[in-house]
């Protein structure tokens, strides 16, 4: 698209946006009686207007039916089956079969559950490859998993510090080159147990090449998992086709399902159909037809469901369902199309702002195929002040130490006008 740096151009893009009506389906936080410019849907997505009624429905069924809400045909969506109502939507977003996905728990919990099954180090194969500067929760999960496994039967299997291979960009570069990721996998192949990376890196906004990384990991005899916290609902995924072993994500960022809402996992069919995989189990992963016989001896469900521990967190799942229905209606491919234009527009305006001296450095890749909605803006000085001033002007962005402002124009509810106003304000504040 041939962009122009004018408000009329932005308004015209909004007028012609086939997804423009979706903005009205969300509550936009207010600043001095006007809509905020909300650019942090990558951190906490906005509330769909339909969410309240989905939660109220479950409160009502609980009120009217008590425990019978689990099975009773008077219940709108009986709780025993509640996770199943989310599956078709999640499968579409994941590019997966329905049996390969399930919503449950929180993200970090699920990462640990997946690693119990898929990180099985031996004295020969024990290394994990990840990106340097991964989200802290992921770093802690990997670190403690490594320590948990380092000794076996009184024997030292490996040194945890040597087992974690953290990939850094080349000197002078901000993001990783795919060729370097693949080369690192190859370099460590004799000792590599697991490649565990973000889909979209939370700090830089870089979208990694899931297909290539998975292929290379498998060629090198490792398993491959992804943390899709910043990818799910942001970019279309093809987890089944790409052959990814497992993935986890949360639902409160791009998925707009509310603070701390229920997470999700993907387990590839080839693992989901293997009843002998080691795992930590609970009754909700047990064969559904025999679950209430309350007998000894775990019999796993087929697919990702086998990793469920507990009965469904119905209230957050209701919020999740309300939002996922909007995603299915809008279509992730359509959202992605708009997202590329919207983020491209922001980049164009920032380039314009930078004419005659770079004031703001975009550290997110310039290639649209290597990023989602987010741009990470690096400021050499005064970043925190600028961020605070944006807030005072009703522009909600996100500050990450030491010097990055993250902004995401989310195609579901952000407009080209939002983007134009943001950069225009930025320009005023910088001059
Ligand atoms: C947001 C995010 C998390 C958050 O983990 P919770 O368990 O949901 O608190 C973890 N990892 C990544 C990569 C994230 O972006």
Per domain, the residue ranges of the chain are 7-42+332-430, 59-328
- The protein residue with its alpha carbon nearest to ligand 1, atom 1, reads 229
Q: Band the pLDDT of 293: cuts 50, 70, 90.
A: confident
Q: Which two tokens stand for residue 132?
A: 């340097």
Separation of CA 319 and ligand 1 centre (Å):
18
Residue nearest to atom 13 of ligand 1 (CA): 135
Atom 14 (ligand 1) nearest CA? 229
DSSP character string of 263-306: -EEEE-HHHHT-TTS-----GGGB-GGGGGG--SS--BPSGGGG
List pLDDT tens digits, range 261-280.
999 999 999 999 898 899 99
Per-residue model confidence (pLDDT) at position 1: 84
Residue 195, SS3 per DSSP: strand
Distance from C-alpha of 251 to C-alpha of 247, rounded to nearest angstrom: 13
pLDDT at 138: 98
Contacts of 424 (CB under 8 A, 6+ apart): 7
Measuring CA to CA, which residue among 239, 279, 249 is closest to residue 105?
249
Q: What is the mean pLDDT of residues 176-194?
A: 98
38 is in an annotated binding site: no
Asked if residue 138 belongs to a known ligand binding site, the reply is yes
Question: How does the average pLDDT of the chain come out, rounded?
Answer: 97
Reply yes or no on whether the pLDDT at 88 is more than 90: yes
pLDDT tens readout for residues 110-149: 999 999 999 999 999 999 999 999 999 999 999 999 999 9
Q: What does the pLDDT read at residue 159?
A: 95
Among 138, 199, 406, the mutation site with the greatest number of ligand 1 atoms within 8 A of its Cβ is 138
CA Rg, the chain, in Å? 23
Q: How far is the CA of 386 from the centre of ligand 1 (A)?
A: 26
Q: Give the mean pLDDT of 223-229.
A: 98
Please compute the mean of the pLDDT values over residues 298-308 and round it to a whole number: 96
How far is residue 284 CA from its own chain's centroid?
A: 24
Q: Measured in angstroms, how far is the CA atom of residue 107 from the centroid of ligand 1?
A: 6
pLDDT 10s digits, 310-338: 999 999 999 999 999 999 999 999 999 99
pLDDT at 154 (0 to 100)? 87
H helices of 150-209, in order, are 160-163, 178-187
Find the mean pLDDT for residues 41-66: 98
CA-wise closest residue to 113 among 320, 264, 252: 264
328 is in an annotated binding site: no
For residue 219, what pLDDT is reported? 98
pLDDT greater than 90 at residue 153 = no
Question: b/e per residue, 354-390, with b = 16+ CB within 10 A?
Answer: eeeeebbebbbbeeeebbbbbbbbbbeeebeebbebb
Q: For residues 302 and 269, what is the distance between their CA atoms, to the nearest angstrom?
A: 9
350-408 tens-digit pLDDT: 999 999 888 999 999 999 999 999 999 999 888 899 999 999 999 999 999 999 999 99
Task: For domain 59-328, give the CATH number.
Answer: 3.40.640.10
The model's pTM is 0.97
User: Which residue ranges have their beta carbon within 6 Å of ligand 1?
Assistant: 106-108, 135, 137-138, 198, 202, 227, 229-230, 250
The domain over range 7-42+332-430 is classified in CATH as 2.30.30.140:
no
Q: Is 420 annotated as ligand-binding?
A: no
Mutate to test the pocket of ligand 1, among 43, 108, 141 (most ligand atoms within 8 A of CB): 108
- φ/ψ of 374, rounded to 5, equals -80, 140
Nearest CA to ligand 1 atom 4: 107
């Amino acid at each position: 698209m041939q962009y122009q740096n004018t408000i009329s151009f932005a308004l015209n893009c909004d007028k012609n946006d086939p997804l423009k009506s979706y903005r009205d389906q969300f509550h936009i936080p207010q600043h001095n009686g006007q809509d905020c410019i909300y650019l942090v849907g990558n951190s906490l997505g906005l509330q769909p207007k339909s969410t309240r009624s989905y939660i109220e429905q479950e409160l009502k069924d609980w009120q009217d039916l008590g425990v019978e809400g689990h099975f009773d045909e008077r219940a709108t969506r009986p709780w025993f089956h509640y996770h199943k109502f989310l599956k078709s939507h999640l499968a579409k977003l994941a590019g997966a079969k329905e049996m390969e996905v399930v919503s449950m728990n929180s993200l970090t919990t699920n990462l640990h559950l997946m690693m119990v099954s898929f990180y099985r180090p031996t004295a020969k194969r024990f290394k994990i490859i990840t990106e340097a500067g991964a989200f802290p929760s992921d770093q802690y999960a990997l670190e403690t998993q490594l320590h948990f496994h380092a000794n076996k039967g009184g024997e030292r299997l490996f040194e945890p510090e040597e087992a974690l291979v953290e990939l850094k960009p080349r000197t002078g570069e901000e993001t990783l080159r795919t060729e370097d990721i693949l080369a690192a996998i190859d370099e460590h192949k004799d000792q590599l147990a697991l490649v565990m990376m973000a889909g979209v890196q939370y700090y830089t906004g870089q979208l990694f090449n899931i297909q290539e990384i998975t292929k290379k990991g498998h060629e090198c005899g490792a398993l491959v998992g992804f943390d899709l916290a910043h990818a799910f609902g942001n970019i279309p995924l093809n987890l089944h086709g790409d052959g990814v072993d497992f993935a986890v994500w949360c639902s409160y960022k791009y998925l707009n399902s509310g603070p701390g809402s229920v997470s999700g996992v993907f387990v590839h069919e080839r693992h989901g159909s293997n009843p002998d995989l080691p795992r930590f189990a609970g009754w909700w992963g047990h064969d559904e037809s025999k679950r209430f016989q309350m007998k000894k001896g775990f019999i796993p469900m087929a697919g990702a469901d086998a990793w469920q521990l507990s009965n469904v967190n119905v209230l957050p799942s209701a919020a999740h369902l309300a939002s996922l229905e909007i995603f299915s209606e809008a279509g992730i491919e359509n959202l992605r199309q708009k997202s590329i234009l919207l983020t491209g527009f922001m980049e164009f305006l920032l380039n314009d702002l930078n004419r005659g001296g770079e004031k703001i450095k975009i550290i997110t890749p310039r290639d649209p195929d290597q990023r989602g909605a987010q741009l990470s803006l690096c400021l050499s000085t005064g970043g925190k002040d600028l961020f605070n001033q944006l807030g005072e002007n009703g522009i909600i962005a996100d500050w990450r130490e030491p010097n990055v402002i993250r902004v995401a124009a989310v195609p579901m509810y952000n407009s080209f006008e939002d983007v134009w106003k943001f950069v225009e304000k930025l320009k005023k504040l910088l001059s």
